[in-house]
Structure 1
C-alpha cells in the first residue's frame, strides 16, 4: 500500500538515505562493542564486561529503532553485512589491545563520529526533507549517543 504521511516520495527517500547510513553505523558499532565485551582482558574485566554488555544492548535497540523508522516512512531497511559495510562511516579495523582503555577509546571515537553525523543531518531532515518526526527521532538518538560518549570519556579520563 502507498505511504501517504504528508512527506513527498523524494523527501522520504532522502531521509531514508540518511537513516540507512545511520543504521549501518549503529550495526557496526554494535558489532565492535560486542568484540570489546567478548575479548576484554585485564584487572577490570568483570566491571567492564558488564559495562560493554549494557552498551551493546542499548545500541542494538538504537539499530532496531532506526530500521523501524525507515519502515515507518515507507522504505525497506538495509539488512546485510555487505550493505552495512558499504554505507557506514565507521571502520571495522581495530589496532588496540584487549584492554578496557583501548576498547573504550575506540568506541568513544565511533560514538563521536555518529554524534557528528546525526547533528549534521537533523536540520536537513526537518527543514529540507520536511520530516519533523524523523528529526525528533534523530534528536533523541543524538542524546543517547551523547550520554554513552560521556560515560566512555569519563571512564578513560585522566585524574
Structure 2
C-alpha cells in the first residue's frame, strides 16, 4: 500500500465561485448566467405581483360575497385564496434562490402588477361581477406565467419552468371553473 497521496483531477471539478462583495458567501453559480437569472427574477416579480393582487381580490370577495350563491362562492373563494397564499411563498422563494429580493410592499405589487387595482365593490355589487373579475384576474396571471415560463425555458431554468407550469395549470383551472358559473 502506497503512502503517496493522489491529487484530485482538477479538470473534472468546478472552481469555487468568488465571494460576493462584502460577503463570505460564494457567488451564485447554478448554471444560469447572472443576466438570465436577473431577467427570470424580474419576470417572477411581475408574476408574484399579479398573483398577490389576485390573491387579495379573491380573499376580499370571500369576505364580501352576498346573495343566493353566497355559500358556494364563499367556499370556492376560500379554497382558491388558501392555495394561492401557499403558492406566493414558493414564487418568492424561487426569486431568492436566483439571488434577488422578492417584492414585498403594496407599492411594489401595484407597480409591477398587470391587474388593475379595483377598490372594494359596493354593497350592492352582484356576485357575477366578482366572478367576472376573478376570471379576468386568473387569465392575467396565466399570461404573465407564460412570459416567465418562456424566458426560464430559454435559459434552462427547469425549476422555474416547473413552477410556472404548475401555476398555469392551477390558474387556467380556476378561470374555467369561475367562467362556468357565468355561462
**Alpha-carbon distance in 1 for matches of 2:72, 2:165:** 30
1:60 to 76, 85, 97: 85
Q: Number of aligned residue pairs: give it.
A: 156
1:92 to 100, 113, 117: 117
* Matching residue of 1:145: 171
Q: Which runs of 5+ in 1 are unaligned?
A: none
Shift of 1:44: 1.8
* Structure with the larger RCO, 1 or 2 (CA within 8 Å, 6+ apart): 1
1:27 to 29, 52, 68: 52
Structure (1 or 2) with the greater helix fraction: 1
Aligned-pair Cα RMSD in Å: 1.5
Shift of 1:124: 2.2
Tell whether 2:43 aligns with 1:18. yes
**Alpha-carbon distance in 2 for matches of 1:106, 1:7:** 37
* Matching residue of 1:109: 136
Q: Which runs of 5+ in 2 are unaligned?
A: 1-24
Q: State the 4+ residue runs in structure 1 displaced beyond 6 angstroms.
A: none
**Alpha-carbon distance in 1 for matches of 2:90, 2:43:** 14
Greater C-alpha radius of gyration = 2
Shift of 1:10: 1.0
* Matching residue of 1:74: 99
TM-score w.r.t. length of structure 2: 0.80
